[in-house]
Every structure is written in C-alpha cells, then in structure tokens.
C-alpha cells in the first residue's frame, strides 16, 4: 500500500517515513525544505530516507500547483508538515499559511485519491493550552498562534469525517525528542551548547515546567499501530506520549550527567504561550492502539547524544 508523508524531511516525519517503509509500505515523502532552521539538517534526513528507497519530493503545501508533482493513488496520508513551535521569528501569517491553508490544500488533494483509506493529521498537545493533562474530549484552550492554528487544521480534517467525505483522525503528540530533533529544541540545543561550550538560553521559569518528554520511537510505534487499526479510528482524536513526567531542570540534569559536562545557563525572557505542564493522558491510546511507550528519558537521551556525536562532531 502507498503512503504519502508530508514534512518527511523533518524530525518526526522522517522517522515516520522510514518506519513505514520498513513495515513494507511504499512511501513517498514531501517537504518544502523551509529555512525555519538549517536546511542542511533536513537534507541529511532526506538523504537517509533515500538510502531506504523513500523518495522525498520538494513541494510546498501552500502552492496548489506543487500537488501536480504527486500521483493520486495513495492509500494513506500522514500529515506532519507545519510551521512548528512557539517562535518570535514566526509571524501569524506563517502559522496561518502553513498550518491552515496548507492543510486545506492537502485535504482537497486527498479527495483526488479515490482509494484513500485514511487521512492521519498529526497534531500537538499545544491545542490544550498552558496545561495539557487531559483526555481527548476536553475542550481545547490553545494559548499560542501555533496551538490555535494546529487546532484549526485538526478541525478541518475531522470535519471531513463528520461530513462523511473522508476517513480521518488526529494524533496529538507530547514533547517529542530524540535523534534528528530540530536544533532549537531543548535537548539538541543543550547537547550542542555542551559540546560548543556555549551558554544555553533558559526561558525564565521554564526550569520548573513539567513535561511528558516522549522518545520519538515510542511516537512512531503509536503511529504504526494507528495505521494498522485505521478502520477503528474514523473521526477519533488520540493522545500519544508518555505518562512519565519530568521538569525541564531534571532534563538538563540528565544531559549533564550523560555527557559528563556542566552546561552554563543564561536566563532569557519567558515565551508567550509556553505550556507550564503537560502529561499525556493515554487511556484511549492504550485501549484502541494497545499503546505502551517504553523508552526511559535516560535511554532516549543517550540515543540522541549518540546521533549528535555521529553527525555533528
């Protein structure tokens, strides 16, 4: 069966494309190789996928003409592509165009795929708001442009299910880390600062934030289960993450211990809309997907450190 993965050269998307390929799916990836962060990292991910016979097409979901580069015989669409995170460098229009307009264009493309079995939207715990410890039937209260536009994208996709035009579902991910993590994210940034003897910019008060830091491999396990059980998921929202929670400071301590290095911290102003507490409520995922994340934070961070050393030192 054929799968289209959007954002396939990105952090989680590249892992998803690689894992689906190993499961025997014929995977096509698309990515617009945006300059939100160093394009060299996306090219590194893309080259890795190409070694596994996964073709990554340079295409932009905001441009309807780019869809002409794709065939229309996909069985599944897995939609990772988005303007990510909370960043002062990203304008509202960038969130709007990438997360909402891009998603709507992809939905219109999905309708051209007559044998499409399921459209998986990849969402985020940020849709819940400043605290994300709730089951999926809780009313979202996003507090950032990112959260607001990801919620809108999710609802665009699920509206297709409610109207019986597409089978779709949305997976809400929690604080994903691991190899290929974006350079501005917590753990890649910490590891980089440690090896480069640079100060780590710590957002004021964030050392006390609680997170369900979830290893990327555990997220991919949940996705693979969702694809296999897609016939049970039409119209559903599923949280994917670990129930274990750590403060940001505990995460910093783990990295320092594993590296045997002290990282100098520099306090910077807090970010607007930054979650102070997320903990994945995965009761539904356990029941429907038989989902059980297994990787400890220590194990996952060691894998991320090994990846960083192999590629950047």
Question: What's 121's domain CATH number?
Answer: 3.40.50.720
Query: Is 146 a residue of the active site?
Result: yes
Q: pLDDT tens digits for 60-98?
A: 999 999 999 999 999 999 999 999 888 777 899 999 999
| Tokens, residue 23 | 């499961």
Q: What is the pLDDT of residue 50?
A: 94
Q: pLDDT tens digits for 5-51?
A: 999 999 999 999 999 999 999 999 999 999 888 899 999 999 999 99
Please identify which of the residues 25, 128, 146, 308 carries the catalytic annotation: 146
Residue of 3, 11, 2 lying closest to 214 (CA atoms)? 11
Looking at the structure, tell me whether residues 47 and 149 fall in a common domain: yes
**Owning domain of residue 305:** 177-210+244-312
Looking at the structure, tell me whether residues 86 and 220 fall in a common domain: yes
pTM: 0.97
Contact 240, 174 (CB under 8 A): yes
Looking at the structure, tell me whether residues 199 and 219 fall in a common domain: no
Looking at the structure, tell me whether residues 123 and 183 fall in a common domain: no
Please tell me the distance from the alpha carbon of residue 107 to that of residue 39, in angstroms, as a whole number.
26
CATH number at residue 275: 3.90.25.10
Spatial CB neighbours of 39, under 8 Å, sequence gap ≥ 6: 33
Number of domains making up the chain: 2
Residue of 228, 121, 222, 218 lying closest to 176 (CA atoms)? 218
């Amino acid at each position: 069966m054929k799968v289209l993965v959007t954002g396939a050269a990105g952090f989680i998307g590249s892992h998803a494309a690689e894992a689906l390929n190993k499961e025997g799916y014929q995977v096509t990836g698309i990515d617009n190789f945006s300059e939100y962060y160093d394009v060299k990292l996306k090219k590194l991910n893309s080259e890795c996928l190409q070694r596994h016979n996964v073709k990554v097409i340079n295409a932009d979901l905001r441009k309807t003409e780019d869809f002409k580069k794709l065939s229309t015989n996909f069985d599944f669409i897995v939609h990772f592509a988005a303007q990510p995170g909370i960043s002062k460098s990203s304008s509202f229009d960038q969130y709007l165009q990438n997360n909402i307009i891009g998603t709507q264009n992809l939905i219109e493309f999905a309708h051209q795929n007559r044998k499409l079995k399921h459209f998986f939207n990849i969402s985020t715990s940020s849709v819940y708001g400043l605290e994300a410890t709730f089951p999926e039937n809780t009313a979202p209260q996003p507090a950032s442009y990112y959260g607001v536009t990801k919620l809108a994208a999710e609802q665009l996709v699920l509206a297709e299910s409610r109207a019986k035009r597409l089978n779709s579902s949305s997976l809400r991910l929690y604080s994903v880390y691991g190899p290929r993590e974006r350079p501005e994210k917590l753990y890649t940034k910490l590891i980089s600062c440690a090896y480069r003897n640079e100060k780590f910019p710590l957002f004021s008060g964030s050392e006390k934030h609680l997170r369900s830091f979830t290893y990327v491999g555990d997220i991919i396990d949940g996705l693979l289960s969702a694809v296999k059980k897609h016939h049970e998921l039409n119209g559903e929202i599923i949280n994917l993450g670990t129930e274990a929670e750590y403060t940001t400071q505990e995460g910093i301590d783990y990295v320092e211990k594993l590296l045997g290095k002290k990282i100098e911290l520099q306090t910077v102003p807090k970010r607007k809309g930054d979650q102070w507490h997320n903990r994945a409520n995965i009761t539904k995922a356990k029941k429907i997907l038989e989902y059980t994340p297994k990787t400890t934070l220590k194990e996952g961070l060691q894998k991320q450190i090994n990846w960083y050393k192999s590629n950047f030192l």
